[in-house]
Amino acid sequence: MKVIRSKSAGFCWGVDRAINIARDYAKQKKSVVYTDGPLIHNQQMMTMLEKEGIKEIGDYQSQSELELTEEEKDESVMVVRAHGISPDRRKYLKSLGMEFKDATCPDVGIIAGKIKQHARKGFSTVIFGDPKHPEVIGLMGYSNGKGHVIQSKECIDVLPDLGENVCMVSQSTMFMYEFEELSNYLQEKYPELKIFNTICGATRDRQTGLVNLVKEGAEAIVVIGGHHSANTRKLAKLASLQGKPTFHIETSEDIDIEKLQVYETVGVTAGASTPEFIIDDVCKKLESI
Q: Distance (Å, rounded) from C-alpha 133 to C-alpha 130?
A: 5
From the candidates 50, 70, 135, 264, give the one annotated as an active-site residue. 135
Angle, helix 176-189 to helix 201-215, in steps of 10 degrees = 120
* Measured distance CA(289)–CA(276) in Å, rounded: 21
Q: Find the radius of gyration of the CA atoms of the chain.
A: 20
End-to-end CA separation in angstroms for the chain: 6
| Amino acid type, 257 | I
- Would you say 275 and 11 are in contact if contact means Cβ atoms under 8 Å apart? yes
Quick one: how far is CA 8 from the chain centroid? 15
Helices (H), the chain: 13-28, 43-51, 70-73, 87-94, 106-120, 134-140, 153-157, 176-189, 201-215, 230-241, 257-260, 276-287
Of 5, 1, 13, 2, give the one whose Cα is nearest residue 279.
5
With a CB cutoff of 8 Å and minimum separation 6, the contacts of 201 are 107
Give yes or no: 135 in active site. Answer: yes
| Active-site residue set | 135
